[in-house]
């Protein structure tokens, strides 16, 4: 009789009674990752196989000249265009895991696996975005990789928000709009394509724009009332599509910084209270000296003035050796421990590519300084 027992988790009546459950979990983890990462599709993404790093090639500009009758054409005398390279190295395996006790799963009145899978996806996505956004901010402070005499390409840009030394300027809607137009002009002047330009602000900056400048054409007028209520009404500023994220480097923290005493250190924003352990995260060191990190994403002190990013897809690259995956124990291991270890994993590395395509917004009297690897130390130019 047991041979006829129906196991809903088996595939086509197979012997593995959890086969379909594993696939369901995997799908939930991917949903959690995809819904919470925005940076992955906004930069250059490459897949790496059989190697530890990936090479990106830069080609600088060349010159035009008039031909002299009878003279052979053998290329220009300056040996242009110059070529440079940049390599991005894979960091160590990034994981997020949880142990699910079988009895807990039996007694729970909700789907534990689905809930845990989403949280694992959130954790990976949060780290993924933070590293990429730091890499973009890093690039905005760099010179170009192509630095041959008389053929130097443009580098990154830092744009001040507001005119005072106070961090609270970061939330001034009019100052933000002006900064976006300044950034757009800088990208135009440096020859960066207008296709795919985006800006990323923290949520309070984003909502401040909706409240204060909706009458200036920033909010879609076809759905203005509904959009403003939902908080997703901003279309673009100067052709730059705007996103909001709690994972951008912001005044030495991630996403937000509270404090209303004024001056040059506080953002002029009152804490909503009870923010928990994952909001206003600071003091995170993501330099190459940290175990597991093989690129240099900087320390929190490197972003004490940073308050937003504007960039085009060429600004940074992310290299994936292992895309978002899920693994679950089974068989004898599950019997011994009466439960499963659920693991989400990812192997990637990120760094800036074309500094000219990156703009960092900052508040205060002066921008943050260059940090970490700088050109030409990590490139080869010929």
Over residues 226-285, the pLDDT tens digits come to 444 444 446 688 999 999 999 999 999 998 888 887 677 788 889 899 988 888 888 889
Q: Please, which pLDDT band fits residue 371 given cuts at 50, 70 and 90?
A: confident
End-to-end CA distance of the chain: 76
The answer to whether residue 7 is domain-embedded is no
What is the enclosing helix (H) or strand (E) of 307? strand 306-311
The answer to whether residue 9 is domain-embedded is no
The answer to whether residue 66 is domain-embedded is no
Distance between CA 338 and CA 328 in Å, rounded?
Answer: 13
3 vs 285, more confident = 285
The answer to whether residue 70 is domain-embedded is no
Structural domain including 246 reads 16-59+80-381
* 101-108 contacts at long range (C-beta below 8 A, 24 or more positions apart): 101/338, 101/339, 102/334, 102/338, 102/339, 102/340, 103/338, 103/339, 104/339, 105/339
The answer to whether residue 6 is domain-embedded is no
Query: 9-13, 20-24, 60-64, 287-291: which range is least confident on average?
Result: 20-24
Measuring CA to CA, which residue among 138, 210, 209 is closest to residue 179? 209
- Mean pLDDT along residues 170-182: 94
The answer to whether residue 72 is domain-embedded is no
The answer to whether residue 372 is domain-embedded is yes
The answer to whether residue 148 is domain-embedded is yes
* Total domains, the chain: 1
Torsions phi, psi for 302 (to 5 deg):
-75, -5
pLDDT digits (tens, 9 = 90+) for 84-117: 888 899 999 999 988 888 887 777 666 777 888 8
């Amino acid at each position: 009789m047991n041979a006829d027992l129906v196991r809903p988790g088996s595939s086509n009546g197979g012997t593995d009674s959890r086969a379909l459950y594993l696939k369901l979990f995997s799908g939930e983890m991917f949903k959690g990752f995809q819904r919470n990462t925005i940076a992955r599709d906004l930069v250059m993404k490459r897949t790496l196989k059989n190697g530890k790093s990936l090479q990106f090639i830069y080609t600088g500009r060349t010159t035009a000249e008039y031909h002299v009758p009878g003279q052979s054409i053998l290329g220009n005398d300056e040996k242009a265009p110059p070529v440079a390279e940049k390599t991005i190295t894979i960091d160590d395996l990034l994981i997020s895991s949880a142990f699910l006790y079988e009895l807990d799963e039996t007694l729970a009145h909700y789907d534990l696996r689905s809930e845990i899978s989403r949280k694992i996806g959130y954790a990976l996505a949060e780290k993924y975005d933070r590293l990429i956004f730091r890499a973009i901010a890093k690039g905005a402070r760099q010179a170009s990789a192509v630095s041959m005499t008389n053929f130097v390409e443009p580098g990154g840009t830092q744009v001040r928000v507001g005119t005072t030394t106070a961090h609270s300027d970061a939330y001034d809607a009019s100052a933000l709009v002006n900064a976006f137009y300044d950034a757009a002009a800088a990208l135009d002047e440096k020859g960066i394509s207008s296709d795919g330009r985006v800006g990323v602000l923290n949520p309070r900056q984003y909502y401040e724009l909706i409240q204060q400048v909706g009458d200036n054409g920033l909010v879609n007028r076809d759905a203005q009332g509904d959009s403003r209520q939902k908080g997703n009404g901003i279309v673009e500023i100067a052709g730059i599509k705007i996103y909001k994220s709690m994972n951008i480097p912001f005044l030495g923290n991630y996403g937000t910084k509270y404090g209303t005493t004024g001056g040059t250190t506080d953002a002029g924003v009152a804490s909503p209270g009870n923010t928990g352990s994952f909001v206003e995260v600071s003091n995170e060191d993501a330099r190459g000296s940290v175990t597991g990190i093989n690129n240099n994403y900087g320390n929190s002190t490197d972003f004490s003035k940073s308050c937003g990013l504007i960039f085009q897809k060429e600004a940074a690259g992310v290299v994936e050796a292992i895309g978002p995956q899920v693994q679950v124990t089974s068989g004898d291991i599950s019997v011994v421990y009466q439960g499963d270890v659920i693991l989400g994993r990812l192997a990637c590395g990120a760094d800036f590519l074309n500094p000219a395509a990156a703009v960092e917004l900052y508040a205060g009297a002066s921008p943050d300084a260059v940090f970490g690897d700088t050109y030409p130390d990590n490139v080869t130019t010929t």
